Chain A
Amino acid sequence: MAENIFPYKAQKETLPNGLKVIMIPMETPGIVAYYSVVRTGSRDEVEPGKSGFAHFFEHMMFRGTKTYPGAVYDSIVTSIGANANAYTSDDITAFHLNFAKEDLERVIEIESDRFQHLSYAKPAFQTEAGAVYGEYRKSITQPFSLLNEKMQNVAYDVHTYKHTTIGFEADIKAMPEAYDYSKTFFQRFYRPENVVIVICGDIDPATTMAWVKKSYGGWEKGYVAPKVTPEPPQTAERTGDVTYPGKSLPIIDIAYKGDALDPNNRDFVAALLLGDLAFGENSDLYKKLVIQEQKVQFISPSIPPNRDTPLFEIYSMVKTPEDINYVRDEVYKTLESFKTTPVDAARLEGLKKRNKYDFLMGLDTPDHVAGGLARFVAITGDIDVVDQLYKTSDTITAQDVMNAAKKYFVPERRTVVVLKGAK
């Protein structure tokens, strides 16, 4: 039996109301990282006109409760010198604080309070909508924001991955009118069965658990799973173009419908490796296009773990528009070669070694440990998937990589979007 890669012993407990708590004691004197992982992201925005709401709601969670109004919550976080923030993506909303261990009980108190008793008036809700629009405005100047928005819109027909996490601009503009809807969002998703608390660092698990039970024990169940419509299999290639209003080199994004995260799915795990082998920094194509021919600024794969059908993507910024098709065809040629030619065994083992060291070297602070696990927790509800993934990865062969290439990287699963600058 192979060793687990995750080097820490986690203690887990689930409260009667369904709230799971994962505690990971670490030798990090004095410091604790506290993550509240809500297993809801933009994936769960099933109602028309409500794209971006999971992210918006992340903002609203800082508006306070009757016991701790927003300003009071802020002053407590300030008084304990915590490094606190939150983020949202397709499958997750995470709230995190990094602080001194003597403040753990206080943090449990204020975090449990806002997750159970969030309370905000309509003007505050509408004001926060303005801040969200501001976040959209600051980001949309980046070419990749436009490119990803277009790619998701073209690649998906019915699944909520059709929209980005920040949401469609029209929906963001309409957010101030959705006060009543926002209340239902909280009632449906901010429930104990849909939340996992991850606590890492200098903690005593027994004491910590007692505090958690005291503060979260009264949280009522009530999670209502959204009816996310599965994306039907794609049957033909799709294409799209988008014009960036500023000046930008062209970017080509070649995406293939993949499989959801499943550590026992050898095709999926092999695809994770294939992305790097074929298009990573050490790949033949990277060396050809970036270093030798210098036709692109970069080429990079993205094989993400997701709850539902994701896009396995290859991005490249091309130096001249005339070379877009050349680069595209080089990507296709590379994928075809991976279907027919077994990858060199040494390169495969080198990548496995890299992935392990990369993972382990990233576990150097409580915040990095909890933050690194959060997405896996959101997708699966647990952290065991990490060990399972690496165990499967250890057994992946050149034949598995060929199988993954044949399964995923075919024209009928493909969407290609090209961004060009207007100037």
Chain B
Amino acid sequence: MSTTYLEFLRAELVPGLMEGLWTSIVVIVPSAALGVLIGVLAGVLRVYGPRPVQRLTEAYVSLFRGTPLVVQVFFWYFALPYISLGGHSIVLDAIPASILAFGLCSGAYQSEYIRGGLNSIKRGQIRAALALGMTTRQAVQSVVLPQAFRRALPGCGNEIIYLIKYSSLASIITVGELTGTATTIAKNSWRNIEVFCTLGVYYLTLVTLATWLLHLAEDAMSVPGFERHKS
């Protein structure tokens, strides 16, 4: 305890956490993109797909929403290499394994919001578009999607905010992101409270920033009848 908190912060904590922050971003951004991609695909299939495909996507969603993310992370990193198909097995490094785990799990949640957005559009509006002579494709493009996007945005954005927090689980499989770096610093310095509280501030900042960006996006897309619900 020779150095003060501020000195410790400046000399060790901030440089270490900055490096971790970068790794966190390397994990979060592709996971979020993967999650949205899978979510849109699964959401559209759940609403418009043929019956068997609907069933299949429902099964995917309930499987990934029904089990803890940490179990899924563990599976992709530790268990996957043990599954061999014809003598080949897949071994993923820690970062790709986390991205895969986060993306697949997030996609299951995202698909719920996409589905909700698609279902929120009254069928009558599609009929009205067709009655004006639009093709189904034109109706989807200019009536369904713009509305579904607005309806799904708050949920999808929140899911990405959750993802920021849950990206901390990557530290469990040795990824040196924010939490992983903090754990290492804490072990070496024995200054647990200072290290982990500072870590908390990092996440609070990230989450608050993301929430603010989401609100900006919602407000920019807002038209009467699609306003942001103030919470």
Does B associate with A? no
> B residues within 8 Å of A by Cβ?
none
Residues of A with Cβ closer than 8 Å to B? none
